[in-house]
Structure 1
Amino acid sequence: MTVAARHRVLCLAGSLRAVSANRAVLEAARELAPASLELVLYDGLAALPWFNPDDERDPLPPTVARLRAAVDGSDALLIACPEYAHGVPGAFKNLLDWLVGCPRFPGKPVALLNASARGSHHAQDALREILRTMSAELLDAASGTVPLPGAGCDRASVLAQPQPRGELEALLKRLARALGSD
């Protein structure tokens, strides 16, 4: 019997909110992921310094080095990012700026998870453009919307609602297929 490869997926929530629908959907995803996926939630967004190209030399700021190591150690990224003022929130754009110089980022498979019931298509479009510019491999077949009610939504409420739960499970199965581990 052949054991399927297990793929490590780094989950990036684009919100700094203490109670975030984007973080909640990623926490729920960890519980619903097929056995072939190991979902790891990155929790250092708030600790990253503001991007400055002068700081991109050795040694990197420790929080940036940890971020890059987490990205390097993953087979793919799963991003759930809110929309703010029709764009990507500044803190999350800052995280992406730190990854531009990450040597192992080009070609990294990335799936986008939209947790907004209203669509937040401006942020999703901006993320796609930024990630294409960074040479990410966008996994469109594994990306999608899991509409949640918004602020105040937690992991338990995502898991308790049949529609978002089912859509999240389907998205995770597509991600496993895209990574060749279904």
Structure 2
Amino acid sequence: MTGQYRRGMTCVLLIPGSTRDGSLHTAALRTAARFAPPEITTMLYGGLRALPAFAPGEAAPAEIVELRALIVEADAILFSTPEYAGSLPGSLKNLLDWLVDGGDLEGKPVAWLSVVGPGRDDGARAALESVLGHGGARVMKPACVRIPLEMAAVDESGLVTDGRLHVALGDMLHVLIQAMVETQPKQPSWQVHSSVYPVVVQRGARPGSAYEGPSGQSAPEWLS
């Protein structure tokens, strides 16, 4: 695992769907852990490859007991996964099977981060939301976002340098936490005018404005 929860703070568990440390999805979540707002503490889950195969009716092994403890401690979960053969990677589906079987996702706020272009992970995202629904999780749609990235944006330390992701991550984590406590999330005060990017609340924007950051800066070029 990377990082640890801090007492008294909102905790978000970051779960990648890839078993490769060098994957773009893992890099995006690693970046989320690095650039999370100060009031949010995160943990990047790294035990996907080591999980035993789901066996209905059998007692949970130690790896699953540890995973379930992390789920209990987390206030919310953020997933980022590639698509394999039109659906979820088997390793992530295995993790979800354990959690659904144990009822660990019941009522848990969850969201997803996509880092590929439209049409490249639709099957995986649909399968993820379906499984999460079967597990009773609360999929927070306002906090789900797509930011297409390239591997060239990942630096030698495994972090994504693309500023679009940094902005989106901070905002989506705030939206995720806001959605946890609001039955009906407020109308977002800004949005990206593109079919690629969904509506995400921008912190500090004036109501009705297209975009304005905390210091009143104008919209960055990638929003236009």
For normalisation by structure 1, the TM-score amounts to: 0.86
Q: Specify the alignment match of 1:6 in structure 2.
A: 9
Name the SS for the 1:124 alignment partner.
helix
Gap change, CA 1:98 and 1:120, over 3 Å in 2: same
Q: Does 1:124 align with 2:125?
A: yes
The number of residue pairs the alignment matches comes to 174
Structure with bigger strand share is 1
**Aligned residues of 2:29 and 2:80 also touching (Cα < 8 A):** yes
- Give the equivalent residue in structure 1 for 2:136: 135
Partner of 2:30: 27
Q: Which has the larger helix fraction?
A: 1
Do the aligned partners of residues 83 and 132 (structure 1) sit closer, same or farther apart at CA in structure 2, a change above 3 Å counting? same
Confirm or deny that 1:69 pairs with 2:72. no
Q: Percent of pairs identical after alignment?
A: 36
Corresponding residue for residue 94 of structure 1: 94
Taking the aligned partners of 1:178 and 1:51, their CA distance within structure 2 comes to 31
Code of the aligned partner of 1:15: S
Inter-partner Cα distance in structure 2 for 1:86 and 1:16: 17
1:39: which partner in 2?
A: 42
* Kept in 1: contact 2:88–2:128 (CA 8 A): yes
Q: What value does the CA root-mean-square deviation take over the aligned residues?
A: 2.2
Q: Is the 8 A contact 1:12 1:41 kept in 2?
A: yes
Q: Could you tell me whether the CA contact under 8 Å between 1:11 and 1:41 is conserved in 2?
A: yes
Give 2:179's aligned residue: 178
CA contact (8 A) 2:86 2:124 kept: yes
TM-score by length of 2: 0.71
Please say if residues 80 and 114 of structure 2, whose CA atoms lie closer than 8 Å, have aligned partners that are also in contact: yes
Counterpart-to-counterpart distance in 1, 2:69 and 2:159: 32
Find the counterpart in structure 1 of residue 111 from structure 2. 111
Distance 1:50 1:133, change over 3 A: same
Spell out, residue by residue over 1:124-173, the C-alpha distance to the aligned partner (whole angstroms, 9 max, x if none).
11111111111101110111112111598456551x22222222222222
Asked if structure 2 preserves the Cα contact closer than 8 Å seen for 1:8 and 1:39, the reply is yes
8 Å Cα contact 1:19/1:152 also seen in 2: no
How far apart are the structure 1 equivalents of 2:154 and 2:111? 22
Gaps of 5+ in 2: 1-7, 183-202, 204-224
The aligned amino acid for 1:116 is: V
Return 5+ residue gaps in structure 1 as ranges: none
Partner SS, residue 51 of structure 1: coil
Are the equivalent residues in 2 in contact too, given 1:11–1:79 (CA < 8 A)?
yes
Instruction: Name which one, 1 or 2, has greater alpha-carbon Rg.
Output: 2
Deviation string for 1:103-142 (max 9, x for gaps)?
A: 4421111011112134411111111111111110111011
